[in-house]
Structure 1
């Protein structure tokens, strides 16, 4: 998940801190890649609640409070307003009014933007989180800020639950038309700072089609880029988004870190950080499973008596 600066507008918009931090950070140079972030930004990047992590599914603690989310205007086909090459990812800005609630969040959150992390095409996976050691080709992060902060992310990052991030893995499968539409804008933003408006016609729901959003992991973590503030309630969904190989490859062959003479944007993800406590939904036994278990118990008792 990206760190951001506040743009001087009536409403605060999130942009990666590479443009605002006095100290430079990067993914691709030895002097500023993620191995150096704890030194460059020691206040948070060297903290104890850092992201991303490897999620060990068998160790996830059941939590009955992890209910379904309510998604507001995720079906709005004009919710995505623009796409930007930030110099370290592709970021899509969302219009005002897109929100989430539920899911054991403390209040409603405003959905501000989403961005992606990837490796080197479909052959070198680049999701930030992993599950049981598996790294997916890409990961999409939808960034949300507590509605009570009215878009003021300076306040949100000072709150241990000020931000909520929705993480979606992306795997190689045939992609829906919405992803073809989204990827069609990439040739317009090949260089850092380039921005293109997104025409109405597809929604966030369209991009997330096929994902069961009732099944997810939850943990408390941080932003995954400097300054790595530990202010994020992470929700990582279990089912991946399906995107075709050619579209995944397009991200790592079209975009540059800076201008057209700079390296192609690849491996834009942070290394795994120390484990955190992870929660997930409680598993409810079905009636048939319960009956079967009781039958086995009775059978064992009968056999035990017959041999006594």
Structure 2
């Protein structure tokens, strides 16, 4: 497979912007999260009032939260990238999620180690973000918490990433239905937040599955090999937001 070097400055991004091409950010030293708001075009990281991640707690139960409608049957991962901020899996444009009568296209998923969100102060060893975007460019992210346990046979469909060169990419053609990786129970938390990387854009609808999935210790370590140390943004103020759950 053809290998190339990709510079994607938004591990959460849906496209590479001019800001992303010129702004250097990271998780340590002068480029760490506490300094993101000082960067050009990333002031929202410091001034935003609905920033992510947050500590999740059951503040409101809403039995009427809409059911998630997945149309991932033909989901196809076209590229795997070590972009310097995360390990990212880019999809073709043929898979969607419908939420609240609005359709979002699945764009990519990537990993954070340890998890960015916490549950009543408890942090999982890994968190996967499945990034979706609608026709009006609004964003929805499905977050999946990962706990250490048995090897995940479905995740092993992506084992080609283990041969990925550091800071490199692989063009792929892997049929991969995220619904088969998601937890069996689809109960979730929902809140309005932001991207967790520069430019920390608002708003973003966050859907966080309450039930974690399991990966083996070896699988978690293999993913971590491609992640910067602690590539998780610190917890942000809730600012009176309501966290719904069903």
**Same structural fold, with TM-score higher than 0.5 when normalized by the shorter chain:** yes
Q: Among 186, 201, 204, which residue is 1:229 paired with?
A: 201
Q: Distance in 2 between matches of 1:2 and 1:144?
A: 13
Unaligned runs of 5+ in 1: 5-13, 119-125, 150-155, 157-161, 257-264, 282-308
Q: Deviations over 1:14-51 (max 9, x none)?
A: 256698342211113x1101111122255310111100
Instruction: Give the total of aligned pairs.
Output: 233
Counterpart of 2:33 in structure 1 is 34
Q: Among 227, 232, 242, which residue is 1:269 paired with?
A: 232
Tell which structure's C-alpha radius of gyration is larger. 1
Structure with bigger helix share is: 1
TM-score (norm. length: structure 1): 0.70
Tell me whether 1:185 sits opposite 2:172 in the alignment.
no
Q: Which has the higher contact order (CA 8 A, sep 6+)?
A: 2
Q: Distance in 2 between matches of 1:97 and 1:129?
A: 29
| Cα separation, partners in 2 of 1:246 and 1:179, compared to 1, 3 Å | same
Q: Distance in 2 between matches of 1:106 and 1:43?
A: 32
TM-score (norm. length: structure 2): 0.86
Counterpart of 2:145 in structure 1 is 169
Once the two structures are overlaid, the 10-residue window that deviates more, 199-208 or 133-142, is 199-208
Unaligned runs of 5+ in 2: 1-9
The alpha carbon displacement at 1:172 in A equals 0.6
| Cα separation, partners in 2 of 1:200 and 1:178, compared to 1, 3 Å | same
Q: Among 226, 235, 241, which residue is 2:213 paired with?
A: 241
Cα RMSD of the aligned pairs, angstroms, is 2.2
Which SS does the other structure have where 2:218 is aligned? helix
Counterpart of 2:24 in structure 1 is 24
Tell me whether 1:212 sits opposite 2:196 in the alignment.
no
| Cα separation, partners in 2 of 1:234 and 1:201, compared to 1, 3 Å | closer
